[in-house]
A and B are shown apart, each in its own frame.
Chain A
Amino acid sequence: MEAARDREEQHAGHGGEARAGTGRRIGVFICHCGSNIAGTVDVRRAAEAVRGLRGVVYATDYGYMCSDPGQALIRRAIAEQGLDGIVVAACSPSMHEATFRRTAEAAGLNPYRLEIANIREQCSWVHQEEREEATRKAIALIASLVEKVRGDDPLEPLGTPVTRRLLVVGGGIAGMTVALEVADAGHEVILVERGAQLGGRLSQIRETYAALSPLAAPLETLVERVREHPRIRVLLESEVESASGYVGSFTVTLRPALPAAALAGDRGESNQAIGGTQYEVGAIVVATGYELLPLSRLGEYGGGRVADVVDALEFERLLADGVLRRPSDGRVPRRVVFVQCAGSRDPEHGVPYCSKVCCLYTAKQALLYRQRVPDGEAIVFAIDVRTGGRRYEEFAQRAVEEGHVLYLRGKVAKLFRQGDRVIVWGVDTLAGRNVEVAADLVVLAAAVVPSAGAAELGRRLRATTDELGFFREAHPKLRPVESLTAGIFLAGAAQGPKDIAETVSQAGAAAAKVLGLFSRPELVQEPTVATVLEELCAGCGLCVSACPYEARSLNPRLRVAEVNAALCQGCGACVVACPNKACVVRNWRPEQTLAMVGAVLGETPYRSPDAGE
């Protein structure tokens, strides 16, 4: 026991920054949480037991430590007892660590010399039938956090400046909306668009569901506003070459966009020769939108090789002409078949998800067709008609009742050319009949997929995409416009199929996030990040490759590893990777962890409260 303590104290003395004389006056505050904790854990006994721990000079229990009187109790004890470290034994730190850190700070104690012992979620709640063991476990948990506090350094939060300039990737409705919101609020915006013009998919769409309101005029106004805005710089036919940095301080390199053919993978040398231009930005919004699954992926629907079989965007173009004519011979189609779920909800051949917008735009297209060709027939094959949203179901019913659009319930099996018509083989499962239709024109509601190059852009920005190429949000419900990388936000169909209204809403939310970021004088970051003990570092670089956040680099002159504290998330991967033990995460030093384990195992010697060390 004695030997173990010596070893432990040796550890504690190693590599410390100004820890001498601290950690000797620790206070422990045990919360009852009503009966949540006190109903199972004998809190009085626990307080008594921890009073005997090394460095603990004060221990008490209270009904609700997070309440105002509870926090006042902590502040008073810090002042009266001269505490230089405290442990709050209560609920999970994700609940109230921030609360109690503010409490400590208010009483003049460095907030990083406070630790939470979770004796609720990890003790009382899961041991309700074992009161004796629960009490012993609570004491052990508190003892381990006491050991941690003993080794905690007082730390100051890291502040990093914010570059108040935004990069928006994508010049469609999502990107333009974000750009205008942020520029109107007074900040500079760089809007980079791969294509030759602004407007995105909206410029290919005539009227919108469900109001059948024309888009051209409002879109033109929007594009003009973006182009004329004094704080928006539009870079057309450009793309992101690379990005580095972190929230508030990104460096992005933009270059002329590669021709579409090069996106497939063939990167010509000439493009590298062009070189990019660097920009400093504080935030990035990804608004790269969607495209339709190529018809070549839909073999049983002709693979794009059957005349008069078009995708929905091509049909929008046909609708735009004065007279609606089919592509092959210019005749006005008298019977049009619309095929929904062309690739959607088809994990075997297409994509597993619902593309969300097709049901409504198909109803719209069928209705518009019937208006243009009053004696024409519109037949829709659908496996479900999904019309969630205000006035959407009514609109779909209008297509049926007013437009006399016939909906057949079933997926089309195949289609082929016969003479000057396209034969469609489908089914109506409601009637239990196979259906064969000879159509003049077939419109495929091809699946909505991420824009080409989305996954590659994700890699360049370090904003992850899912297995399908859609950008991932930080939380699907609670943080839907933030990517997993701080400072990179998402807007529109780049994140998943969305209709125009949803896209504009999300773009507004992304702009609000950006403005929130830009409104801060500086960014405050947790100081519990990795550091390098330079005298131990051999410059091997293992930590550089181990770091998932690209927070590590080698200093070529000193030949030691360096940490970019703004990027470091304190995960500890470098600590494990380093063969020389030269990597340390602040307040998570190995000897602290070992001391915590020792305390749980009962190896921490008891000292009388006033004995000191």
Chain B
Amino acid sequence: MKVALLPEGLRSRLQQRVEEASGQNVLACYQCGKCSAGCPVAGVMDLLPNQVIRLVQLGLVEEALTSQTIWYCAACLTCAARCPKGVDLPRVMEALRELAMERSGDHLPPDRLPAEALAEWPQQAVIGGFRKYTW
């Protein structure tokens, strides 16, 4: 059984960064679950969208960052349109992705790629790889 301690205070630095980056007050969410109920991708997510928000509310941002859900989110905005408290979940998901990428660094370090490869590979794929494959 996991025990979540709240040692560093309710408003952790990471939590505040998520709020800053997303422009959302994650505490406004009262966990009704409507976002998850209507999410078209929820079937393949490891955590439901509301659970990701809950982790952020509890200051357990690290756990949210390792969730696949933030990558499955297609930013279709269905949840944002339906949220009774006006929380824009796709913005929160995007903020979490940003944080995750910031920590992992680029998967394809351009300075260490062979020049031939850079010349041969489709440029869009290479640039896309900088951002997407972060773990």
Binding site for B on A (CB under 8 A): 377, 379, 397, 400-401, 404, 406, 408-409, 428, 430-431, 433-438
Using A433-B2, A436-B5, A437-B6 as known contacts, say yes or no to A400 and B55 having CB atoms under 8 A apart. Answer: no
Q: Which A residues are in CB contact (< 8 Å) with B6?
A: 379, 435-437
Q: Which B residues are in CB contact (< 8 Å) with A400?
A: 27-28, 30
Per the bound structure, the CA–CA distance linking A578 and B89 in Å amounts to 79
Per the bound structure, the CA–CA distance linking A401 and B86 in Å amounts to 12
Using A401-B25, A430-B54 as known contacts, say yes or no to A379 and B10 having CB atoms under 8 A apart. Answer: yes
The answer on a CB contact under 8 Å between A434 and B3 is: yes
A377-B10, A379-B10 known, 10 other contacts, Cβ within 8 Å: A404-B27, A406-B10, A406-B57, A428-B58, A430-B31, A430-B51, A430-B54, A433-B60, A435-B5, A436-B3
Q: Which A residues are in CB contact (< 8 Å) with B10?
A: 377, 379, 404, 406
Tally chain B residues at the interface, Cβ within 8 Å: 22
Q: Which A residues are in CB contact (< 8 Å) with B28?
A: 397, 400-401
Q: List 30 A-B contacts (CB under 8 A).
A: A377-B9, A377-B10, A377-B11, A379-B10, A397-B28, A400-B27, A400-B28, A400-B30, A401-B27, A401-B28, A404-B10, A406-B57, A409-B31, A428-B4, A428-B54, A428-B58, A430-B31, A430-B54, A431-B4, A431-B54, A431-B58, A433-B2, A433-B4, A433-B58, A434-B1, A434-B2, A436-B3, A436-B5, A436-B6, A437-B6
The residue that A431 contacts in the complex, of B1, B5, B27, B60, with Cβ under 8 A, is B60
Q: Which A residues are in CB contact (< 8 Å) with B30?
A: 397, 400
Using A377-B10, A404-B10, A428-B58 as known contacts, say yes or no to A434 and B27 having CB atoms under 8 A apart. Answer: no
The answer on a CB contact under 8 Å between B11 and A404 is: yes
Per the bound structure, the CA–CA distance linking A431 and B55 in Å amounts to 7
Chain B nearest Cβ from A471, distance in angstroms:
36
Per the bound structure, the CA–CA distance linking A406 and B60 in Å amounts to 13
Per the bound structure, the CA–CA distance linking A400 and B4 in Å amounts to 20
Per the bound structure, the CA–CA distance linking A404 and B57 in Å amounts to 10
Per the bound structure, the CA–CA distance linking A208 and B1 in Å amounts to 40
Q: Which A residues are in CB contact (< 8 Å) with B31?
A: 409, 430
Chain A nearest Cβ from B69, distance in angstroms:
14
Q: Which residue of A lies closest to B47 (CB)?
A: A431
Chain B nearest Cβ from A243, distance in angstroms:
50
Per the bound structure, the CA–CA distance linking A607 and B28 in Å amounts to 84
